[in-house]
Structure 1
Amino acid sequence: MQTHLADFIRDTPEGREAEEILRKCVHCGFCTATCPTYQLLGDELDGPRGRIYLIKQVLEGERATEKTRLHLDRCLTCRSCETTCPSGVQYGRLADIGRHIVEQQVPRTGADKLKRAALREFVPNTGLFGSALGLGRMFKPLLPRVIAEKVPAAGAAGPWPAPRHARRMIALAGCVQPSMRPVINAATARVLDRLGISLVEAERAGCCGAVRYHLHDQAGGRDEARRNIDAWWPAIESGQVEAIVVTASGCGVQVKEYGYLLRHDPAYAARAEKVAAMSRDVAEVLAAEMKTLTSLLESSRTQGKAGRLAFHAPCSLQHGLKVRGMVESLLSAAGFELVPVRDSHLCCGSAGTYSLLQPKLASELRDGKVSALQEYGADCIVSANVGCIEHLATAVSLPIRHWIELIDEKVTPVV
C-alpha cells in the first residue's frame, strides 16, 4: 500500500512504525472473513481493511471525525485479523497508533468521557475494585439487572502452598482477578507446587496496564508496566525466579509487550525486554512440565469419567499469545472429553472493557459464543481469561471456570 504521511507524524517513531505496517497491507480482504464486528454489521468500515483505510486517511492529514472514532471504537482488538492476514500486518499496533491520534483530534465529551475516565481509575485499582465488588455482592438484589448480572458470587481460593522448592516463579496478581476469581492463581500455585515449583506474588505489583493503555491513557499504562517491572526485578536480577506466570491471557498479551511498550525508555527498555521474555501463560508452563504432570494425572484417570468440556479459547490466548491447542492437550491428558466449538476463532465480546462500552455488540457476540459452547452437550465450559469467563457467565446455563481449576482438582490431594 502506498503511503504519504502528513508532516505531524511522518518522522516520529509512531509514524515510521505505522508506515511500515501500512505498506504490508495489500487490501486482500481475508481479514474481513474472521472479523467479529464485520460479521455482525456487514460494514466495510467495521472490518480491519476499512479501519486500516480510516487510520491511513488520518495519518495522511485528513481530519478525523466522530464517525472515524465510532468505527475504531467498535473494534474489539481481538487480533483475529492478524492470525488470518497472509502479509503479517500488525493491525493491533496500528490501531493503537490511530486511536491515540483520533482521540486527540476528536475529544470525548459528556457521559462517554466520564465512563471511560471512571473505568481507567476504578478497574486497575485492586483495593477499590475489591471493596466495590464486596458491596455489590451485599446489595446485589437491589441493583439494576444489567449491573447485578455482572456481579459474581464470592468463591473461596483455597490454600496457597508456602514456598518450599528451589524452583520459583512469580505470578501476576492482576487487578480484578484477585477479587472476582481468587481461586485461579491459588489453583495454579497448588498445581505448580505438585510439580516442584513454588509460585509467589510480588506485593507491589498490580494491574498489567492494559486497561489504561487501551482506554487511551498510554502513558498511564506504561507507568503500570514500570511499577510491575520494579516489583519483580529484584527476584529476577538475583536469579530467584525463572518465569513470570500469567493466568489471564488478556494480561499475558500486555506483559509480553512490555519490551515493545518501553522500547524508547532508556531506563527500562532492557529490563522490560527481559520481563517480556520471561512471561509465560500458565498453559506454557504446564506443557513444559508434561512428563511430571502426566505421572500425577495417571492416578486420577482411574477415578471414573472426567466429563465433557467446551473450551473457549480467548482471543488473547489464540491470536495475541499464539498459544493454540496447548490447553486442549492438557485437558485431554487429564481425561476430559473436549466437545467441538463452532467458530472458535471468533471473539466472545468481552475484550477488556468493551462489554461495558459497547454492550449491544458485546451481547450479540456473547450470545453467539454461548450457543456454540453449549451446542454439543458439554457438562462445563472452561476458558483462560477472567474477563471472558465473567462475560460469558452472564448468559450460560452451564458452570464456567478457568481450566487450571480442573487440573488442580485432578492433581491436588483432598485434605
Structure 2
Amino acid sequence: MQTTLSERASHLPRAAEAESILRTCVHCGFCNATCPTYQLLGDELDGPRGRIYLIKQVLEGNDVTQKTQQHLDRCLSCRNCETTCPSGVDYHNLLDIGRAVVDAAVPRPLGQRLLREGLRQTVPHPELFKSLVNGGQVFRALLPGTLQSKLPRNAPPAKQRPVTVRERQVLMLEGCVQPSLSPNTNAAAARVLDRLGISVIASREAGCCGAVDYHLDAQAIGLDRARRNIDAWWPGIEKGAEAIVQTASGCGAFIKDYGHLLASDPAYADKAKKVSALARDLVEVLRDEPLEKLGIHASQRLAFHCPCTLQHGQKLGGAVEALLTGLGFNLTSVPDGHLCCGSAGTYSLTQPELSRQLRDNKLNALESGHPEVIVTANIGCQSHLDGAGRTPVRHWIELVEAALP
C-alpha cells in the first residue's frame, strides 16, 4: 500500500514503523473474513482493512473525527487478522500507533473519559481491586446485573503454595485481577510446577504488566509499568531464573512485546529484550516437562476456550489442548475456535453490547459439545464467559492440579 506521511506524522517516534507496516498491506481483504467485529457489523471500517485505511488517512494528514476514533475503539485487538494475513501485516502495532495519534487529536466525551480513568485507577492495583470485589460480594444483591456479572461465582479459594525451594526456579507474574477473581490459579500452577521440581520465586515488587494503561489512552504509563517490572525481575534473572511464567495469556502477550516496545529506550532496551525472551506462558513450561511424573489419569469432559492472546498473540494455538488430551482429559470439539469471546481486556466494559454478542456466540460454540466445565488460559476470558451464569469456566491448570494424586 503506497503511503506518504504528513510532515507532522513523519516526526512521530514510531513514524518509520507505521510507514513500513502500511506498505506491507496489499489490501486483499482476507483479514475481514476472520474479524469478529466485521462479522457482526458488516461495515468495512469495522474490519482490519478499513481500520488500516483510516490510520493511513490520519497519518497522511486527513481530518481526524470521533467516527475515526469509534471504529478504532471497536477493534478487539484479537490479532485474528494477523493469523489470517498472507502478507504478515503487523496490525496490532499499527493500531497502537494510530490510536495514540487519534486519541491525542480527538477529545473523548466525559463519560468515556471517566470510565477509562476509573478502570486505569482500579484494575492495575490488586489491593484496591480486591477491596472492590469483596465489597461487591457483600452487596451483590443490590448491584445492577452488569456489575453482578463481573463478580466471581464460586471461585475456589487459593490452596497453600509449596514452601520447599527447588534447584530449578522460575519467576511468575501474579497479575492484577486474577488474585481476586480466581485466587487458586497461581497457587495451582505453583503446586504443579513443584511436583516437577520447579519452584516459583516471589517477586513482590512486580505489578501490572502495563497492558491496561497502554490500551486505555495511557501508553507512556503502560511502558513505565513495564520498566518497573523489568527492575523487579532483574535480580531473579541474574540469579538464574529459567523463565518468567504467566498464567494469564493477555499479560504474557504484552510482556513478550516489551523488547519491541522499549527497543528505543537506551536504558531498558537490552533488559526488555531479555525479559521478553524469558517470558513463557505456563503451557510452554509444562509441555517440555515429563508430565507422566504427575501421575494424572483424568477423564473429565472439557471444552477449551483458546484466548486470542494465546493463539493469535503468542501463536500457541493447540498447545493447551494437546497437553490436556495427553493427560487424559476428554476435550470436546469447539466450532469457530479462532473467534474472540469479546473480553479483550476492558472491552467488555468499553464496548458492552458488542462484547455481549461475541460472548453469547462463543458460549454457544463451547457448549455445543456438552462439556462439564469450560477451561481457558486468561483471566479476562474466564471472568467474562463465567459471568453469563451458564457452564462454569475455570483456568485449565486448576483442573490439572485437582487431578493430582
TM range, smaller chain:
over 0.9
Q: Is 1:142 matched with 2:142? A: yes
- The CA deviation at 1:235 is 1.2
Match of 1:115 in 2: 115
Give the partner amino acid of 2:250: G
3-state SS in 2 of match to 1:7: coil
| In structure 1, distance between residues paired with 2:238 and 2:371 | 45
Match of 1:295 in 2: 293
Match of 2:348 in 1: 355
Query: What are the residue-to-residue correspondences of 1:313-328 with 2, within 5 Å?
Result: 313-328=306-321
Give the partner amino acid of 1:99: R
Give the partner amino acid of 2:59: L
Q: Is 1:370 matched with 2:363? A: yes
Q: Which region of structure 1 is more displaced relative to structure 2, 228-237 or 155-164?
A: 155-164
| In structure 1, distance between residues paired with 2:239 and 2:167 | 13
3-state SS in 2 of match to 1:347: coil
| In structure 1, distance between residues paired with 2:105 and 2:331 | 48
- The CA deviation at 1:109 is 2.6
RMSD between aligned residues = 1.1
3-state SS in 1 of match to 2:403: helix
Match of 1:19 in 2: 19
- The CA deviation at 1:187 is 0.3
Give the partner amino acid of 2:56: K
- The CA deviation at 1:170 is 0.6
- The CA deviation at 1:12 is 3.8
CA contact (8 A) 1:79 1:319 kept: yes
Match of 2:84 in 1: 84
- The CA deviation at 1:11 is 4.4
Percent identical: 59
Give the counterpart of 1:391 among 368, 384, 396: 384
Q: Is 1:244 matched with 2:259? A: no
| Partner deviation per Cα, 1:171-195 (whole Å, 9 max, x = no partner) | 1011101111111100000000000
| In structure 2, distance between residues paired with 1:158 and 1:165 | 19
- The CA deviation at 1:295 is 3.2
CA contact (8 A) 1:370 1:396 kept: no
- The CA deviation at 1:200 is 2.1
Give the partner amino acid of 2:212: V
| In structure 2, distance between residues paired with 1:364 and 1:375 | 17
3-state SS in 2 of match to 1:311: strand
| Partner deviation per Cα, 1:60-85 (whole Å, 9 max, x = no partner) | 00021010001001000000000000
| In structure 1, distance between residues paired with 2:229 and 2:164 | 21
3-state SS in 1 of match to 2:368: coil
Query: What are the residue-to-residue correspondences of 1:166-315 with 2, within 5 Å?
Result: 166-239=167-240, 241-289=241-289, 292-297=290-295, 300-301=296-297, 306-315=299-308
- The CA deviation at 1:396 is 4.8
CA contact (8 A) 1:339 1:376 kept: yes
Segments ≥4 residues shifted beyond 6 Å: none
Give the partner amino acid of 1:61: G
3-state SS in 2 of match to 1:199: strand
- The CA deviation at 1:13 is 3.7
Match of 1:69 in 2: 69
| In structure 1, distance between residues paired with 2:201 and 2:208 | 16
CA contact (8 A) 2:301 2:332 kept: yes
Query: What are the residue-to-residue correspondences of 1:22-33 with 2, within 5 Å?
Result: 22-33=22-33
CA contact (8 A) 2:151 2:387 kept: no
| In structure 1, distance between residues paired with 2:183 and 2:207 | 14
Match of 2:402 in 1: 409
- The CA deviation at 1:395 is 1.7
CA contact (8 A) 2:196 2:293 kept: no
| In structure 2, distance between residues paired with 1:262 and 1:199 | 26
Give the counterpart of 2:330 among 327, 330, 337: 337
Q: Which region of structure 1 is more displaced relative to structure 2, 87-96 or 175-184?
A: 175-184
Give the partner amino acid of 2:207: G
- How high is the TM-score relative to the length of structure 2? 0.98
CA contact (8 A) 1:307 1:379 kept: yes
| In structure 1, distance between residues paired with 2:305 and 2:167 | 34
- The CA deviation at 1:332 is 0.6
- The CA deviation at 1:324 is 1.5
| In structure 2, distance between residues paired with 1:62 and 1:11 | 16
| In structure 1, distance between residues paired with 2:207 and 2:13 | 29
Match of 2:36 in 1: 36
- The CA deviation at 1:288 is 1.0
Q: Which region of structure 1 is more displaced relative to structure 2, 95-104 or 150-159?
A: 150-159
| In structure 2, distance between residues paired with 1:223 and 1:208 | 10
3-state SS in 2 of match to 1:340: coil
Match of 1:156 in 2: 157
- The CA deviation at 1:260 is 1.0
| In structure 1, distance between residues paired with 2:349 and 2:260 | 28
Give the partner amino acid of 2:30: F
Give unpaired runs (5+ residues) of structure 2. none
- The CA deviation at 1:207 is 0.6
| In structure 2, distance between residues paired with 1:17 and 1:396 | 43
